[in-house]
């Protein structure tokens, strides 16, 4: 009985959805929007629906730039990206694009004129 209780406690701890470790940003395979709240110096790196999105703020370009890559063995359809700013503005989505296995696409979302200090992002598939 004590062993069973201990196993339940260990299993619960392993499933903890508490604070992310340093460098871990917005990992979410559930299809829900990421609640990651990133600063302008953070890099977003998330795989969702088979699309790995790597995105960062480029101060010079006043835009979010990066790539979305298909990390599955098949085609993923209608990959698109959105960024949500702390001022309530949503950037995107980008134009839906089908990606073959291993294929990637450039991502650029312009934020010229936007005043914000935090942001979150996610890829959508399908």
Burial annotation 42-54 (CB, 10 A radius, 16+ → b, else e):
bebbbbbbbbbbb
pLDDT at 18: 34
Each residue's pLDDT, cut to its tens digit, for the chain (126 residues) gives 433 433 333 333 333 333 333 333 444 444 444 555 999 999 999 999 999 999 999 999 999 999 999 999 999 999 999 999 999 999 999 999 999 999 999 999 999 999 999 999 999 999
**Distance in angstroms between the alpha carbons of the first and the last residue of the chain:** 46
All domains in the chain, ordered by first residue? 44-114+120-124 (2.60.40)
- Those residues with Cβ within 8 angstroms of residue 81's Cβ, 6 or more apart along the chain or in another chain: 53, 55, 68, 92, 93, 94, 107, 109, 121, 122, 123, 124
Residue 3, pLDDT score = 37
**Can you give the pLDDT at residue 22?**
34
| Residue 35, pLDDT score | 57
pTM for this model (two decimals): 0.74
């Amino acid at each position: 009985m004590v062993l069973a209780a201990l196993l339940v406690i260990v299993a619960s701890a392993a499933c903890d959805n508490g604070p992310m470790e340093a460098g871990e940003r917005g990992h979410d395979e559930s299809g829900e929007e990421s609640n990651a709240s990133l600063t302008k110096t953070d890099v977003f790196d998330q795989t969702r629906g088979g699309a790995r999105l790597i995105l960062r703020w480029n101060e010079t370009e006043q835009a979010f730039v990066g790539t979305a890559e298909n990390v599955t063995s098949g085609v993923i359809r209608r990959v698109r990206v959105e960024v949500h700013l702390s001022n309530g503005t949503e950037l995107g989505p980008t134009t839906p694009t089908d990606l073959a296995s291993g294929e990637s696409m450039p991502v650029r979302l312009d934020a010229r004129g936007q005043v914000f200090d935090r942001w979150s992002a996610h890829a959508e598939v399908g």
